[in-house]
Amino acid sequence: MSSQTDNVLRRVEEQDIGFIRLWFTDIAGSLKTVMMAPAELESAFEEGVGFDGSSIEGFSRISESDTLLRPDPSTYQPLPFDEDTGIQTARMFCDITMPDGDPLYADPRHVLRRQMHAAREMGFEFFASPEIEYYVVKTDGEGGIKPSDKGGYFDQAKRNEAPKLRREAISALEYMGITTEFSHHEASPGQQEIDLRHTDALTMADNIVTFKYLVKTVAETNGVHATFMPKPFPHLDGSAMHTHFSLFEGETNAFHDPDDEISMSKVGRQFIAGIIEHAREISAVTNPWVNSYKRLQFGSEAPTAATWGISNRSAMVRVPTYRLHKADSRRIEVRSLDPACNPYLAFAAVLAAGLKGIEGGYELDDPATDDVFALTRRERRAMGYRDLPGSLDQALRFLEQSEFMAEVLGEQVFEFFLRTKWDEWHEYTSQVTPWEIEAGLDL
């Protein structure tokens, strides 16, 4: 037993924990949980917890269904909301292995671990800091939904519950050791944003999964619903998960160069170039839903082309110019990601693309200075910009032709992801919508 596991066992006893929730996600990013009594925890650390991997879509074939959950003691945290019930629970994220101890290659955490190991082999640690947007909605009385408030960008919104819900969500996050930086009302009615302080990408992916659980729980206890759907309303802004990324070499920010006009190092420029070069191949992973492309095509300030810019919020990759002299602040912001993505897979894809740019010595083109979103497709092409996929269909076509992404995801995840997403696309396109009925019934 390691000192970390000993510490967890001691804390469980001291905090009078009644149940432990072992957390993991499936390939789509949906949270799964196994509940156990504290008496079983020492055995779980030593031997793992067996479960039927074939029951989780994409994990194991029926002939290889015996899999193990391996609790990660570094992720132990008591959960809020239970203190008043008299039964305190805690959670730990798990890695998933085969009985012989080999990692399950379909485990999303392992997909990200592999890429972070590749970065470490090159001398880098990978950090992430997301700005997570979401809507709080309620029923409209007619079987649909409507925004829970009428606020706008940065509104104090004293006459509705938006600030209260954000405060409760932030308190729950802080209770679990997840540090927030800022929160505010976003541009559209009912739309909120909470930003998380940067940490290593694996911890941040765990934090995002926890974030969704906590925000949804807070909303439900207040009689409303929180949704991370990229574009739930056709005439309101889409919800993004703009994410700031950086590489560090020990204590040194590898993206910082004080002699560069925007303080961006050669490594940083190559990392950006890798993301731009492979942008279309990773889109199905960073934007995995049919609805994701409603935001990209019809949202405000959503990236429509594989471009980068200096302070340009219409570019796919933005280089912020705040505090250029401060080395620790040098970072890039990838604006294509949305909150529907599985953060483990999305972060792995972005990191792998960036590392490919460094390894290959990719050259970065001139930055976009236009409002790329406002340009027509013809204008974008005339300027040499490559369009991002405009639908899940297009994104999947780029993905299935990508040997690069097959290697990043691993064969099992790659094949399962494509199969399930093609099924999703075919189910979507087979529908006859009310718009079609209204437009065509009387022709």
- pLDDT in the model for residue 50: 84
pLDDT of 13 above 90: yes
Question: Which residues lie across from 191 on neighbouring strands?
Answer: 135
386 or 51: which carries more pLDDT confidence? 386
> According to the 3-state scheme, what is the secondary structure of 193-240?
EEEECCEEHHHHHHHHHHHHHHHHHHHHHCCCEEECCCCCCCCCCCCC
- pLDDT in the model for residue 59: 58
What share of the chain in percent tops pLDDT 70? 93
The pLDDT mean for the chain works out to 91
Report yes or no: 76 and 88 within 8 Å, Cβ to Cβ.
no
Of 28-42, 165-179, 338-352, highest mean pLDDT: 338-352
- pLDDT in the model for residue 63: 37
Distance CA 169, CA 413 (A): 32
Q: Is 280 annotated as a binding residue?
A: no
Q: Is 325 annotated as a binding residue?
A: no
Q: Is 244 annotated as a binding residue?
A: yes
Residue found by looking up tokens 């399950």 in the block: 104
- pLDDT in the model for residue 326: 85
Q: Is 185 annotated as a binding residue?
A: no
Q: Is 281 annotated as a binding residue?
A: no
Q: Is 131 annotated as a binding residue?
A: yes
Distance CA 364, CA 336 (A): 18
Residue type, 251: E
2 or 7: which carries more pLDDT confidence? 7
Mean pLDDT of 324-335: 89
> What would the pLDDT profile of 189-229 be if each residue is shown by its tens digit?
999 999 999 999 999 999 999 999 999 999 999 999 999 99
What band does 83 get if pLDDT is binned at 50, 70 and 90?
low
Q: Is 40 annotated as a binding residue?
A: no
Q: Is 54 annotated as a binding residue?
A: no
Residue found by looking up tokens 């194991």 in the block: 60
* Domains delineated in the chain: 8-104 (3.10.20.70), 113-434 (3.30.590.10)
pLDDT of 157 above 60: no
Q: Is 120 annotated as a binding residue?
A: no
Distance CA 236, CA 341 (A): 20
Q: Is 57 annotated as a binding residue?
A: no
Q: Is 65 annotated as a binding residue?
A: no
- pLDDT in the model for residue 273: 98
* Cβ-based neighbours of 278, under 8 Å, separated by 6 or more: 352, 353, 356, 402, 404, 405
Q: Is 181 annotated as a binding residue?
A: yes
What band does 175 get if pLDDT is binned at 50, 70 and 90?
very high
Q: Is 186 annotated as a binding residue?
A: yes
Question: Which residues lie across from 22 on neighbouring strands?
Answer: 34, 92
Q: Is 11 annotated as a binding residue?
A: no
